Amino acid sequence: MDFLIFKAPILMVQASMDGILIGLLFALIAYGMALQWGVMNIINIAQGDLVILGGYIAYFMYKVGIHPALGVIVSPVVMFFVGWGLYKAVINKVVDRDLFISILATFGIAILFQQLMNLIFGADVVVAQSGFGTTMLFDNSVTLPNSKLFSAFICIVYAIGLVIYMRKSKLGRAIRATAQNARAAKILGVDTEKVYASTFGINAALCGVAGALISITFTLHPYVGLPYTVRSFMIVIVAGLGNLPGVAISGMGLGVFEEFADYILGTEFRIGSVFMLLVFILVYRRFKLSRKREYLK
């Protein structure tokens, strides 16, 4: 364990900035998670695996000579159709049912995807080289890979774009109406089938963007999807559904927490501390609500 971090302000700045940049990425994935939870009442355990799949698309582009940064355009398009197809094949049978059924069913999808990716892309840990270089701050003591800055920028662009789309476009408004009251929306002529499929597709697309960014800023591996799922779930329960600024802030908070945990506890405990944070947040919520004699629904 390394507590020297608190004596070294520069390390704290580095960790904080790394945390904020990666946190925006988490927030984007969380936004997708919140979308399908709010609209379709589904918790998608395979969320992280969709992210990784999106990453592999960008990696594939890199292997065939296309610059992986273009993945942030190609990946969401491909993933939208993957999401749409997944909805039509499986998710539509799970939408009207117990939330727990969606957890189990998406878990099945998750392990399916994990092995498929393993078979197609192999079990090696890979990175798509972006060649973006690095930015140095504070007399070269804080290093920020430009890919991370690019990633943060893209996340913000997509987040703002999505908010505008949801406000202004016909589909966006249909989605929001369905989220508020699916039966009423149906009676008023909204094609809820199409809304659900699109929502799931949009979520997959967001995962695709995130994955493409991860492929150039971090590493890809067929079996690292679950932590991304857990992170997005955590952010959603802290921020609440439909609270985009909250999602962004919680995401960045989580990112910073992780970076500090990495420095203090060591990288081998990074993932473990994420899951322990999840437990802690839920238990904290439980006790706070029980004072009001309520419980998390």
Residues within the interface to another protein (CB under 8 A): 43, 90, 93-94, 99-101, 103-105, 107-116, 119, 226, 230, 233, 237, 266, 268-269, 271-272, 275-276, 278-279, 282-283, 285-287, 290-297
Nearer to another protein, 138 or 284 (CB): 284
**How far, CA to CA in Å, does 98 sit from each of 39, 94, 146, 148?**
14, 8, 44, 39
Instruction: For residue 11, give the amino acid letter.
Output: L
- Tell the smallest beta-carbon distance from residue 6 to another protein (Å): 21
CB 79 within 8 A of CB 205: yes
Task: Write the burial class of residue 3 (CB in 10 Å: 0-12 exposed, 13-18 middle, 19+ buried).
Answer: exposed
Nearer to another protein, 134 or 290 (CB): 290
Nearer to another protein, 114 or 151 (CB): 114
CB 94 within 8 A of CB 42: yes
User: What count of Cα atoms within 13 Å lies in the side-chain half-sphere of residue 50?
Assistant: 37
| The 3-state secondary structure of 29-44, one letter per residue | HHHHHHHHHHHHCCCC
End-to-end CA distance of the chain: 37
How many Cβ atoms are within 10 Å of 35's Cβ, its own excluded?
A: 23
- Tell the smallest beta-carbon distance from residue 290 to another protein (Å): 6
- Tell the smallest beta-carbon distance from residue 234 to another protein (Å): 9
Which H or E run includes 142? strand 142-145
- 91 in helix, strand or coil? helix
| Chain centroid, CA 197 distance in Å | 19
- Tell the smallest beta-carbon distance from residue 226 to another protein (Å): 7
- Tell the smallest beta-carbon distance from residue 26 to another protein (Å): 16
- Tell the smallest beta-carbon distance from residue 277 to another protein (Å): 9
Nearer to another protein, 163 or 276 (CB): 276
Nearer to another protein, 225 or 253 (CB): 225
Query: Radius of gyration over alpha carbons of the chain, in Å?
Result: 19
Any bridge partners for residue 135, and if so which? 144
Nearer to another protein, 96 or 138 (CB): 96
| The 3-state secondary structure of 58-93, one letter per residue | HHHHHHCCCCHHHHHHHHHHHHHHHHHHHHHHCHHH
Nearer to another protein, 63 or 93 (CB): 93
- Tell the smallest beta-carbon distance from residue 180 to another protein (Å): 19
Nearer to another protein, 50 or 155 (CB): 50
Six-digit token pair at 168? Answer: 């202004």
- Tell the smallest beta-carbon distance from residue 99 to another protein (Å): 5
Whole-angstrom distance, CA of residue 90 vs CA of residue 81? 14
